[in-house]
Amino acid sequence: MCKRIFALLALTFGLFGTQCWAATCTPTEEGMSCTNTFSPANTTNTYDFTGSGDGVVVVQFATVLTTFDLTVTFTHTIDPFDPTEFPAGTICVPYSSNGGRCDQYNFTGTSGGPNGVPVKNTDYQGLITLTLSYSYFGTVHDPAFAHAPGDITTFTENILTSYSSATSCGLFGCEDPTMGGTVPGLSSIAALDEPLTGNNTFCSLTTSMTNNPSGQKPEIEVTLTEASGACSGGTGVRDKTASLSVSTTDSNRNVIFPALKNVEANKFHWDNKNGVNEYDISTDGLVSGQTYTVTVFSSLISVQSTTFVAP
């Protein structure tokens, strides 16, 4: 962001002009707007609001056909949630770095879509990948990446495809966690936290190296253990809702989610003998010696993470 707090806005602009990690930023009544230019040669841009603790949004188009400006504006007024998509008890995430306020990010631009956002197959092709990094120190239950498609003012979609507890650093500070998702068009987004179902107990999350019988690179086996009571002697839980993300950080401390080769449909499977959930990760495409974070999120247990080093 172009400021640390509003009282220091003049000082910030004096030091950095109106540039905010390549974006042109201006204060609004409730937050800040930052604008970036996209083109066929520039398909990814960062909107850094860490100066006031309001996170980092990264927008990545698969293919850009024209040149257009795209503005992201954050506010602390959150649109309502669709109860058929987000269960009762869902809350917006209060950021630890901005005084405990929730953030909503709205997209506008210079194109012909709703609120001037770019139009698919006219300005761009394919899906748009969004990542949101923010600061939160509380317990994360079941994370959700809320999206209000089109020009509606209600969050009706959970676009979460990836989640990481790795730390991402912007121009003015560092944030964690990071959530990712894909959309066909841009509107409004926000980080939510859904309540857990049941009363299960998290026991352990471990990784181990296994040899691939096909002769390809080894695999990383992730073992998730949870119980319907105490971990010692409790009945193991078959968690069909559990999802897993693998992430790392680049040289600029940006969280990235590497593409993973499909292994056993990329989902947890139940080990009936040992009463645990297992997930096999192919190391194809991972960088040897690089540390990766494994984050598991589920409707049955709060978010858990561990790390491994690619062989």
User: What DSSP letter does each residue of 247-295 carry, written as one string?
Assistant: EEE-TT--EE------SGGGS-EEETTTTEEEEEEE-TTSPTT-EEEEE
Report the topology of domain 6-194: Chondroitinase Ac; Chain A, domain 3 (2.60.220)
Residues of the chain with pLDDT under 70: 1-22, 170-172, 212-216, 265
Whole-model pTM: value is 0.88
pLDDT tens readout for residues 126-169? 999 999 999 998 889 999 999 999 888 999 999 999 999 888 87
pLDDT reported for residue 233: 81
Do residues 197 and 214 make contact, with C-beta atoms less than 8 angstroms apart?
A: no
**Within its chain, how far is the Cα of 231 from the centroid?**
30
pLDDT at 210: 83
CB contact set of 280 (below 8 Å; sequence gap of 6+): 210, 219, 220, 221, 222, 263, 264
pLDDT at 86: 97
Residue ranges covered by each domain of the chain: 6-194, 201-309
pLDDT of residue 170: 67
C-beta neighbour count of 122 within 10 angstroms: 13
Q: Of 1, 93, 8, which is closest to residue 47 (Cα–Cα)?
A: 1
How far, in Å, are 28, 237, 241 from residue 197 at the CA level? 39, 13, 11
State residue 254's pLDDT score: 83
Here the tokens at position 105 are 């990010």
State pLDDT tens for residues 39-75.
999 999 999 998 889 999 999 999 999 999 999 999 9
- pLDDT at position 2 is 36
Q: What's the pLDDT at 22?
A: 64
Alpha-carbon gap, residue 115 to 152, rounded angstroms? 11
According to the model, what pLDDT value does residue 252 have?
Answer: 76
Closest of 43, 22, 69, 73 to residue 252, by C-alpha: 22
Rounded to the nearest 5 degrees, what angle is found at the Cα of 48, between the Cα atoms of 18 and 169? 130
| C-beta atoms surrounding 242 within 10 Å | 21
CATH class of 201-309: mainly beta
